[in-house]
Structure 1
Amino acid sequence: MVVKTRYTQLAGKGVKAARAHLRYLQRDGVTKDGLAGELYDRGGDQADGRGFMDRADKDPRQFRLIVSAEDGDKYEDLKPLTRRFMEQMETDLGTRLDWVAVDHFNTGHPHTHIVIRGVDEKGKDLTIARDYISEGMRDRLEALVTLDLGPRSEREIDIARRQEVDQARLTSHDRHLLRKMSLDRHIVTDVPDPKERALQVGRLAKLQEFGLAEDLGGGRWRLAENFDATLKDLGERGDIIKSMHRELALKGMARAAEDGVVHRAGVALPEAGSLFGRVVKRGLLDGDSDRHFLMLDGIDGRIHWIDIGYAERTRPLADDALVRVDFRQAEIRSADHTIVEVAAANGGWYDVAAHLNYDQSATGEFAETHMRRLEAIKRATRQVERSDQGAFRIAETFLDQALAYEKKRLQQAPTDIVPLSPIPLSRLPTYPGATWLDRELVDPSVPVVTVGFGREFSDALRQRQIWLLQEELAFEIDGQFRTGVNMLRTLEVRGLDAASDRLEKESGLTYRPAKYGDRIEGQLRQSVHLPSGRYAMVEQGKEFTLVPWRPVLENHIGKLVSGLYREEGINWSIGRGRGMGIQ
């Protein structure tokens, strides 16, 4: 019996994450028939998830349970068991609970996710004793299952334990080895019971195949360091491969999930450069966090599963969109070396005055950026000391502290995802505007293979060449394809004209093309995603214009903006006046 329990705080962005968690639990492919999961509660089989979260909007926390009965596959329907389990919890805790649940059949073990509001029936904070979480819930579940199915026979227990011997995950055998191994990680197979000894030796032999144990002879074995963590990783990889199988099957994609590549945050793969490909799926990494994963049909012919960090750090991505994924690296910044240099010349302390005294060409604003970085490192690592006067003591280990800070940030946002096209590859060969295919024809940058999505990409490039020749935007010399001099610019203008026609109908405004040298002023209406890139729609009076988007515009939709349109970009001012530009 397994009952995993955790709680999450709902303060700040916690409610938003909790809503996303509930949506994740209802995702497609989790029922026996591969359909979306359905929430239920004490009163019915179709619970109102939005209403549940509205009631929980001011709650301090939320409890999340994953309940997996060892013989859960013997239940035709898990809902009655879940309701009786929750009734027992209410009796034990002495309060009525507000909860919703969803059953999942997408792994080898049917299980139920239960979400409980963090308040009791009187609206007071719900508290659950530690021992009840660690043992009480499991005991209650086991009693209910035993009542339903009877006690497990010795034969059933033996079969389950034999099956665990060969599993590439952390098993009950491994937990027993963890408890029994010596400080130097040695194990002696001296179990009196021949059957138990055979299971133990069998598991150790399997661990040796995994490179996690060594046979020293005479019944003595040595386990690898952190072998349990490695087994957990193997188990997680196995679950990921299974989820990849399911998603590929749902989409009818002929790809080998076993050859897929798993990219975990902060774990750099030797061959991992930038990845190009098609979005198969984006979703929550698990039910307990707001971390997301991206499943990518790579141009290298392989499927990639990528931990892309917290949802708020990455823009939404539609299935079949084309993207480039860059993997970030944790590195010490030049500012950190500057801080060390300034502190070395100032008795080990850093502040703005010390910086300006050390480098008289520096400005106070520049030095303040270093102070803000020190404050951020102090909050994250709790290892940087600040005096009452505001100066920071810079220890000899400061660069290590700065690197630890960068590694922590890397866990939050381990990738940069660059959109290449919001529309599918199949529509690009005849798209009237500029596309990723055109940029590759002008300046090839993507190594491709002739299998999987790589083959589809190569076919699309050939189809695009034919279309460009027909449109007289490219030509052939001695059988060699050549692009026209102004091909990309011509296509970009065509794409903007086509998009503007649609936007004119939607907005009732008139499109005014922008040219270099124009001052762009007005209300930032929206961002527009085209295969040629992302654009800002700026409204002024009864007209609008489209200009290339810049990251500074994020979070400013609806505000007044102004800037001079130059070939290298626009130095935007946000607000009513023509005040200070924001790069």
Structure 2
Amino acid sequence: MIAEAEDRFIDLRPEPDDLRGQADRTLRLRRLGKLGDMELATEHAPGVWELSDRLEPTLRELGERGDINRTMQQALRAEGAERDPMTFQIHDAAPAAPIVGRVIDKHLSDELGETLTLVVDGVDGRTHHISGIDPTRVEDARIGSVIEIGPPDSTGRPSDRAIAGLAEDGIYRPSRHLEQARFDGHVPNGDYEGFVDAHVRRLEALRRAGIAERIDADQWRIPSDFEARAAAHDAGRNGRANIRILSTFDLERQIGSDGATWLDRRLVSTDTSDLSPAGFGAQVREAMDRRRDHHVDQGDAARQPDGRIAYRRNLIATLREREVARAGEELAAKKSLPFRMAADGETVTGAFTGTAQLSSGKFAIVEKSHEFTLVPWRPVIDRQLGREVMGVVQGGSVSWQLGRQRGLGI
């Protein structure tokens, strides 16, 4: 009918001599009645219909959404779960508000393998379908892993704040920044030139985006809304959803783990306002109760006379250290190389030889000729695999100092 319509009008008034076409005409009129109910066609006179210009794209979108709904139902059934299709939420772009839930499906969105689609069973009681995911951001996430998906990160960079703060009358001078950095003395390893050069490279990138203007080697024109425009530029370039893997372990593995799990962080925070009483939210509540009982059995928590639970002091750090020690000894047996725990404040050096995925998080294996250690991993060191690295252990994290970037606390 779309192909036969003239200026979107189609004439289906009866022709007495066309007996063979009566059956086809009846089918078309019934279809047009359905399209009319959907506000995609309008009858102007008996048998004369106008097709909406939204007809084809709307039907195509409805077909795609029907396919998505079936995919979501299949993923839920594979997990032994049932959800009301009314709770399905399909996101055509990065979600406006963070979504926390477990991964129940993960598949390629295109033939080139450049984007992924995730189906997430949310703690909010909804099942979410999110496409356009960067595959590198969810490499470690498996079916059952707990993740958070939010809007693109538009938080301003510290370097942009520093540039804006040092600009005088809209002019930033690298030489002035170098003087200030030397006066403050807060740049580790004293690489002041490299520190300021990093800010100039940032300005070069923003100059190409039309945000900053280079006057000469020591003068840059900075607009009054520099920080906001720089943040918007980053958000536009990295418009994909912002993803955090909260736990690669599913709920069942977290309940009996000897490490610091996502459930433990929820128990310590005590906030359950985001947990739906149905669906995955209800499963998380039950898992938290079982994890709490586990801590009581292990002596890491005690029930008070008033019914409240008192947890061991520094529970998260204690569990993390306990798991790292156990995992380190297991790796030592395989490597035939002694394991040593890294102390807080210690500078760790050695070859970055791989990673270990624990319930407490992902850890980097740093080896020397006579020993190795496990320290918290961060994406920035992935490119250093097989190379010498150096970092300072600080409160459950590591400030890596790599190449020319050392001293920037990456």
TM-score between the two structures when normalised by the length of structure 1: 0.55
Q: Alignment partner for residue 254 of structure 2, among 417, 424, 428?
A: 428
After superposition, where does 1:250-269 map in structure 2 within 5 Å?
250-257=78-85, 259-266=87-94, 268=95
CA contact (8 A) 1:265 1:309 kept: no
Q: What's the CA shift for 1:365?
A: 4.6
Partner of 1:191: 12
Partner of 2:288: 461
Q: Which has the higher contact order (CA 8 A, sep 6+)?
A: 2
Q: Secondary structure at the match of 2:318?
A: helix
Greater mean alpha carbon deviation, residues 284-293 or residues 506-515: 284-293
Counterpart residue identity of residue 52, structure 2? L
Number of matched pairs: 378
Counterpart residue identity of residue 223, structure 1? S
Question: In 2, Cα distance between the equivalents of 1:529 and 1:516?
Answer: 21
Q: Alignment partner for residue 308 of structure 2, among 433, 456, 480?
A: 480
Q: What's the CA shift for 1:253?
A: 2.8
Q: Alignment partner for residue 199 of structure 2, among 366, 388, 392?
A: 366
Q: What's the CA shift for 1:560?
A: 0.4
After superposition, where does 1:106-117 map in structure 2 within 5 Å?
none
Q: What's the CA shift for 1:364?
A: 6.3
The alignment status of 1:282 with 2:67, answered yes or no, reads no
Structure 1, unmatched stretches of 5+, are: 1-172, 182-186, 347-353, 379-383
CA contact (8 A) 1:421 1:530 kept: no
Q: What's the CA shift for 1:205?
A: 3.7
Q: Alignment partner for residue 150 of structure 2, among 298, 304, 326?
A: 326
Q: What's the CA shift for 1:392?
A: 12
- Aligned alpha-carbon RMSD (Å): 4.3
1:1-32: CA deviations, max 9, x gaps?
xxxxxxxxxxxxxxxxxxxxxxxxxxxxxxxx
After superposition, where does 1:214-233 map in structure 2 within 5 Å?
219=48, 221=50, 223=52, 226-233=54-61
Q: What's the CA shift for 1:524?
A: 0.9
Q: Secondary structure at the match of 1:555?
A: helix
CA contact (8 A) 1:189 1:201 kept: no
Partner of 1:294: 118
1:416-458: CA deviations, max 9, x gaps?
2212222221122221121111110111455112322222211
CA contact (8 A) 1:321 1:423 kept: yes
Partner of 2:337: 509
CA contact (8 A) 2:138 2:245 kept: no
Question: In 1, Cα distance between the equivalents of 2:405 and 2:205?
Answer: 28
Q: What's the CA shift for 1:582?
A: 5.3
CA contact (8 A) 2:152 2:238 kept: no
Go from structure 1 to structure 2 and tell me whether the alpha carbon gap of 1:504 and 1:282 turns closer, same or farther (over 3 Å shift): same
1:285-340: CA deviations, max 9, x gaps?
14355311112222223322211423245424212222222232679999999999
Question: In 2, Cα distance between the equivalents of 1:392 and 1:261?
Answer: 46
Question: In 2, Cα distance between the equivalents of 1:337 and 1:561?
Answer: 29
Counterpart residue identity of residue 357, structure 2? H
Counterpart residue identity of residue 269, structure 2? D
CA contact (8 A) 1:276 1:325 kept: yes
Q: Secondary structure at the match of 2:385?
A: coil
Question: In 2, Cα distance between the equivalents of 1:465 and 1:338?
Answer: 45
Question: In 2, Cα distance between the equivalents of 1:300 and 1:490?
Answer: 30
Q: Secondary structure at the match of 1:234?
A: helix
Partner of 1:493: 321
Q: What's the CA shift for 1:551?
A: 2.8
Structure 2, unmatched stretches of 5+, are: 15-21, 182-195
CA contact (8 A) 2:302 2:310 kept: yes
CA contact (8 A) 2:263 2:288 kept: yes
CA contact (8 A) 1:212 1:227 kept: yes
Go from structure 1 to structure 2 and tell me whether the alpha carbon gap of 1:364 and 1:247 turns closer, same or farther (over 3 Å shift): closer
Go from structure 1 to structure 2 and tell me whether the alpha carbon gap of 1:374 and 1:331 turns closer, same or farther (over 3 Å shift): farther
Partner of 1:443: 269
Question: In 1, Cα distance between the equivalents of 2:238 and 2:27?
Answer: 43
Counterpart residue identity of residue 321, structure 1? S
After superposition, where does 1:12-411 map in structure 2 within 5 Å?
173=1, 175-176=2-3, 180-181=6-7, 187-192=8-13, 198-213=26-41, 219=48, 221=50, 223=52, 226-257=54-85, 259-266=87-94, 268=95, 273-287=97-111, 289-328=113-152, 355-356=172-173, 365-375=198-208, 377=209, 406-407=235-236, 409-410=238-239
Greater mean alpha carbon deviation, residues 239-248 or residues 489-498: 239-248
CA contact (8 A) 1:297 1:453 kept: yes
Question: In 1, Cα distance between the equivalents of 2:233 and 2:198?
Answer: 26
Question: In 2, Cα distance between the equivalents of 1:501 and 1:469?
Answer: 26
Go from structure 1 to structure 2 and tell me whether the alpha carbon gap of 1:559 and 1:180 turns closer, same or farther (over 3 Å shift): farther
Q: Secondary structure at the match of 2:173?
A: helix
CA contact (8 A) 2:317 2:396 kept: no
Question: In 1, Cα distance between the equivalents of 2:107 and 2:278?
Answer: 26
Q: Secondary structure at the match of 1:511?
A: coil
1:18-76: CA deviations, max 9, x gaps?
xxxxxxxxxxxxxxxxxxxxxxxxxxxxxxxxxxxxxxxxxxxxxxxxxxxxxxxxxxx
> How many percent of aligned residue pairs carry the same amino acid?
27
Partner of 1:540: 368
Q: Secondary structure at the match of 2:384?
A: coil
Q: What's the CA shift for 1:274?
A: 1.8
Go from structure 1 to structure 2 and tell me whether the alpha carbon gap of 1:334 and 1:208 turns closer, same or farther (over 3 Å shift): farther
CA contact (8 A) 2:154 2:231 kept: no
The alignment status of 1:471 with 2:298, answered yes or no, reads yes
Greater mean alpha carbon deviation, residues 189-198 or residues 296-305: 189-198
TM-score between the two structures when normalised by the length of structure 2: 0.76
